[in-house]
Homo-oligomer: A and B are copies of this chain.
Amino acid sequence: MMFKEKKKMEIKEELVRMGEKAREASKILANLSSEEKNKALEEMALNIEKNAQKIKEENIKDIEQARKKGLSSALIDRLTLTDKRIAATSKGLREIASLEDPVGKIESMWKRPNGLFIGKMVVPLGVIGIIYESRPNVTVDAAGLCLKAGNAVLLRGGSEAIRSNCILVDILQEALGRTKVPPESIQLIRTTSREAVTLMLKLDEYIDVIIPRGGESLIRTVVENSTIPVIKHYKGVCHTFIDSEADLKMAEDICFNAKVQRPGVCNAMETLLVDKEIAKSFLPGMIQKFKQAGVEIRGDEKVREIAPEVKLATEQDWFTEYLDLILSIKVVEGLDEAINHINHYGSHHSDAIVTKNYLKAKKFLQEVDSAAVYVNASTRFTDGGEFGMGAEIGISTQKLHARGPMGVKELTSHKFIILGEGQIRK
A residues with CB within 8 A of B: 27, 30-31, 104, 110, 112, 116, 118, 121, 123, 125-126, 204, 208-209, 223-224, 227, 229-231, 247, 250, 253-254, 256-258, 261, 343, 365-367, 369-378, 380-382, 386-388, 398-401, 403-405, 413-425
Contacts and interface: CB of A to CB of B under 8 A. Distances in A.
A98 B386 CA distance: 39
Contact of A413 (B375, B388, B400): B400
A236 B367 CA distance: 40
A423 B257 CA distance: 9
Given A386-B425, A400-B125, A381 B418 contact: yes
A375 B418 contact: yes
A112 B257 contact: no
A375 B230 contact: no
Contact of A415 (B123, B373, B413): B373
A203 to B, nearest CB: 13
A377 B420 contact: yes
Contacts of A366: 31, 104
Contacts of A110: 388
A315 B417 CA distance: 29
B257 A387 contact: no
A371 B416 CA distance: 6
A329 to B, nearest CB: 19
B399 A400 contact: no
B125 A399 contact: yes
B404 A416 contact: yes
A378 B413 CA distance: 23
Contact of A377 (B125, B400, B404, B424): B424
Given A223-B227, A376-B422, A422-B250, A31 B367 contact: yes
